[in-house]
Structure 1
Amino acid sequence: MTSSDWFLPLALILAVALMAESVRQLRRRWVLVKVEGVSMEPALRDGHEVLAKRTRRIATGDIVVVAAPDPDLGWAGAKRAKAPWWVKRVAAGPGEPMPGLDGPVPQGHYFLLSDNPAGEDSRRHGPCPEAAVFGTMIREF
C-alpha cells in the first residue's frame, strides 16, 4: 500500500475523533433541561425546556440549573453526575441577606427560590453550594 492509500482512512478517523471531542466539549459547557412541576411558574411552565451555559458569573435574579439536593442529605448529597437537575432563581448571593432568614448567605453558596411558593428550594434545604450550580439559563424553549 502506498501512503496515499492510508490518507483517506486516516483522515476519516481523525474527523470522527474531532467531532466526538467537539460534542464532548459542548456537553461540558451546555445543558438542556426539561422543567418538571410548577415550582417556577409563572416564568417557566411544566414541560418547557431551558438551555443553560456553564458559568461562574451568577447574579441575584438569574435563573440557574443546579444538581438537585438529596432528599435526606440535602445539598451535601447533591452529586452532579447522578442527581436530576433543578431550575431555580437566585434570590441572594454570597454575603447578601437570606430572604426571610437572619444572616447573610455564606461564601461559596447561593440562596435559591422557586418562583412559585409551593416549590422546594433553599427555604427547605438551606443555601446551595456553588459546586452544585451548573450554570445560568440562556434561553427557554
Structure 2
Amino acid sequence: MTSSDWLSALALIAVFALMIESVRQLRRRWVLVKVEGVSMEPALREGQEVLAKRTRRIAAGDIVVVAAPDSQLGWADLKRAKAPWWVKRIAAGPGEPMPGSGEPVPPGHYFLLSDNPAGEDSRRHGPCPANLIVGSVIRSF
C-alpha cells in the first residue's frame, strides 16, 4: 500500500469514529419515547412519540419523561435502567403545595400528574425523586 492509501484508510477510520461518538453524544442528550396508554390524553395520544432533552431544568407545567415506579414499592429501590418510562406533567416542584393535600413537595422531589385522571401518577405513588426524571419533552410526533 502506498502512503496515500494509508492516509485514506486512516481518514475513513477517523470519520467512522467521529460518527460513533456523535451518535453517543446525541443519545446522552436526547431520548425518544413512545407514549403508551391514555394517561396523557388529550395532550398526547397513545402511539405518539416524544423527544425529550435530558436536563435538570424543569418546572411546573413541563411534560417530562420519568422512570416509572414499581407497582408495589413505588419509587423506593427503583433501578432506573430496568424501569419502563412514563410521560407525565409536573404539577408541583420542591416546596410547592401538592395538589389535593396542600402539603409542600419534599426537597429533591416533584409531584407528577397525568392529564387524564385515569392515569397512574404521584397521587398513587407519592412525589417522584428528581434523579428519576430523565428529561423534559420538547416535541411530539
TM-score by length of 2: 0.94
Hey, what does 2:113 align to over in structure 1?
Answer: 113
**Shift of residue 84 of structure 1?**
1.1
AA matched with 1:81:
A
**What is the distance in 2 between the residues matched to 1:42 and 1:77?**
32
Deviation at 1:2, TM superposition (A): 4.3
1:1-141 aligned within 5 A: 1-141=1-141
Unaligned runs of 5+ residues in structure 1 are none
Contact 1:64/1:135 (CA < 8 Å) preserved in 2? yes
Deviation at 1:80, TM superposition (A): 2.7
Gaps of 5+ in 2: none
The 10-residue stretch of structure 1 (5-14 or 20-29) with the greater mean CA deviation from structure 2 = 5-14
In structure 2, the residue corresponding to 1:75 is in which secondary structure?
Answer: coil
For 2:101 and 2:75, locate their aligned partners in 1 and report how far apart those are by CA, in whole Å: 18
Number of residue pairs the alignment of both structures matches: 141
Distance 2:120 2:75 in 1: 13
SS in 1 for 2:45: coil
Compare 73-82 and 113-122 and name the one that shifted more.
Answer: 73-82
Kindly provide the amino acid, as one letter, of the partner of residue 87 in structure 1.
Answer: V
Distance 1:3 1:81 in 2: 47
Q: Please say if residues 69 and 77 of structure 1, whose CA atoms lie closer than 8 Å, have aligned partners that are also in contact.
A: no
- Matches of 2:129 and 2:39, distance apart in 1: 20
- Contact kept, 8 Å, 1:67 with 1:84, in 2: the verdict is yes
Q: Could you tell me whether the CA contact under 8 Å between 1:40 and 1:115 is conserved in 2?
A: yes
So what's the TM-score if we normalise by structure 1?
0.94
- How many percent identity over aligned positions? 81
For residues 47 and 79 of structure 2, the distance between their equivalents in structure 1, rounded to whole angstroms, comes to: 24
Q: CA deviation at 1:78?
A: 3.1
Counterpart residue identity of residue 112, structure 2: L
Q: How far is 1:76 from its partner?
A: 2.2
